[in-house]
Amino acid sequence: MNRTDLLELEKTMMKEVVKRRALGGYSADAEGILILSETLMRLLQHIIDDMSPPELDSPKGKSK
């Protein structure tokens, strides 16, 4: 995965977190799902911050 892929995944997770927060405690599992979603989003943000700028990304499928 390159930075662009991770940024797209981050957008998807952000939408999910916003949706889960809006739904509130609709079921017994809701809080756990929200915690997992927020955790994944924060991990993605950390990985993205540690990566090189987009112009230095190598093409998909090729190593640096």
Q: What is the block-wise mean pLDDT of the chain (64 residues), using blocks of 10 residues?
A: 90 91 86 92 93 65 52
**Which pLDDT value is given to residue 23?**
85
**Which pLDDT value is given to residue 41?**
93
**Which pLDDT value is given to residue 57?**
56
Q: Which of 64, 60, 63, 52 is nearest to 5 (CA)?
A: 60
Q: Where are the domains of the chain?
A: 3-53
Give the C-alpha distances (Å, rounded to integers) separating 9 from 3, 6, 16. Answer: 10, 5, 11
**Which pLDDT value is given to residue 39?**
95
**Which pLDDT value is given to residue 47?**
94
Q: How far is CA 26 from the centre of its chain?
A: 23
**Which pLDDT value is given to residue 60?**
60
* DSSP symbol at 37: H
Residue 41 tokens read as 């989003």
